[in-house]
Amino acid sequence: MAQHQARKRFGQHFLTDEGVIEAIVRAIAPARSDKVVEIGPGLSALTGPLLRALDHLTVVEIDRDLAARLRRDYPTERLTVVQDDALRVDFTPLGSGLRIVGNLPYNISSPLLFHLMGSADRVIDQHFMLQREVIDRMVAPPSTSDYGRLSVMLQARYEMLKLFDVPPEAFDPPPRVVSAVVRMKPLPAQRPRAKSEACFAQVVARAFAQRRKMLRKGLGDWAKLVQWDAIGVPETARAEELSVGQFIALADCVHDAGGC
């Protein structure tokens, strides 16, 4: 079979280290009847080990050559191949109780994480390999340099744990960065949440657009709508100092006053 050449436009870096593969599968700990969806199966580094533990696996692969290879290598009753861009895939038809895994292309990791938030109520957990720098931002606490819009938006929806680092030499071709693996578990329906998810997203984005400015300046005309004392946030605070709960309270103030 011809060797597949990694395609830069798809951000392809194929995992080859058996020890790392085993560690990821152990972290996922799949049961036979689990409904697992793998994003970006590539050359089946994870696909094969997952199928040994599962009755059935669904994969999402954008590369038509790799999708065709997967269809040749595995029977349809064991493997369902969705040939599409994961950024466009509607995960709703796949049902509920999903466990999503994957070595995500670094060039679309943040947009894909936001896209998957729309299906979070159907998901049990997510295990992803990403650029370590991105995962550090995902799990960062307030008042740290890594804490930002990505941190707040994801932490409002998921409980996240960075599991372990993965060196460049675990891939072919090796990326120029260190990778890491993260576990994401959607928070329950009774979690603290904003009155308007859209307003929350807008407030967080505006607050971090000029993160070095005090919120009373960074929020622009929305600042005068906020009851700062009532929510326990000084108007001289900067975005990186606020917890997720404080951002929710801030967004609710803006929303109640008709700001967004």
Give the global pTM. 0.91
pLDDT in tens, 218-243: 999 999 999 999 999 998 999 999 99
Q: What is the pLDDT of residue 229?
A: 93
The residues, ordered by sequence, that sit 6+ positions from 76 with a Cβ below 8 Å of its Cβ are none
In the chain, the percentage of residues whose pLDDT exceeds 70 is 95
Terminal-residue alpha carbon distance, the chain: 56
Cβ atoms of residues 115 and 141 within 8 Å: no
Q: What is the pLDDT of residue 129?
A: 94
pLDDT in tens, 94-134: 999 999 999 888 888 999 999 999 999 999 999 999 999 99
Same structural domain for residues 25 and 111?
yes
pLDDT in tens, 11-50: 456 899 999 999 999 999 999 999 999 999 988 999 999 9
> Checking DSSP bridges between strand 57-61 and strand 79-83, what pairing results, if any?
parallel
Cβ atoms of residues 101 and 128 within 8 Å: yes
Same structural domain for residues 127 and 236?
no
User: For residue 116, what is the domain's CATH number?
Assistant: 3.40.50.150
Same structural domain for residues 56 and 122?
yes
Q: Does the structure show a pLDDT above 70 at 145?
A: yes
> Is 3 domain-assigned?
no
Per-residue pLDDT band at 212 (split at 50, 70, 90): confident
Same structural domain for residues 213 and 244?
yes
Q: For residues 147-171, give the mean pLDDT.
A: 97
Number of neighbours of residue 77 by Cβ within 10 angstroms: 8
Q: What is the pLDDT of residue 12?
A: 54
Q: What is the pLDDT of residue 7?
A: 42
> Is 2 domain-assigned?
no
Q: For residues 183-210, give the mean pLDDT.
A: 96
Q: What is the mean pLDDT of the chain?
A: 93
User: For residue 236, what is the domain's CATH number?
Assistant: 1.10.8.100
| In the block, residue with structure tokens 């994870």 | 46
Region for residue 95 given its phi and psi (left: phi exceeds 0; alpha: psi -120 to 50; beta: otherwise): left
Same structural domain for residues 210 and 171?
no
Q: What residues make up the domain containing 167?
A: 8-186
Same structural domain for residues 69 and 98?
yes
Mapped to the 3 state alphabet, what secondary structure does the chain carry? CCCCCCCHHHCCCEECCHHHHHHHHHHHCCCCCCEEEEECCCCCCCHHHHHHHCCCEEEEECCHHHHHHHHHHCCCCCEEEEECCCCCCCCHHHCCCEEEEEECCHHHHHHHHHHHHCCHHHEEEEEEEEEHHHHHHHHCCCCCCCCCHHHHHHHCCEEEEEEEEECHHHEECCCCCCEEEEEEEECCCCCCCCCCHHHHHHHHHHHHHCCCCEHHHHCHHHHHHCCHHHHCCCCCCEHHHCCHHHHHHHHHHHHHCCCC
Q: What is the pLDDT of residue 260?
A: 92
Q: What is the pLDDT of residue 231?
A: 93
> Is 1 domain-assigned?
no
Q: Does the structure show a pLDDT above 80 at 59?
A: yes
Number of independent structural domains in the chain:
2
pLDDT in tens, 61-102: 999 999 999 999 999 999 999 999 999 999 999 999 999 999
Q: Choose the weakest-confidence range: 12-16, 51-55, 175-179, 198-202.
A: 12-16
Per-residue pLDDT band at 1 (split at 50, 70, 90): very low
> Is 40 domain-assigned?
yes
> Is 192 domain-assigned?
no
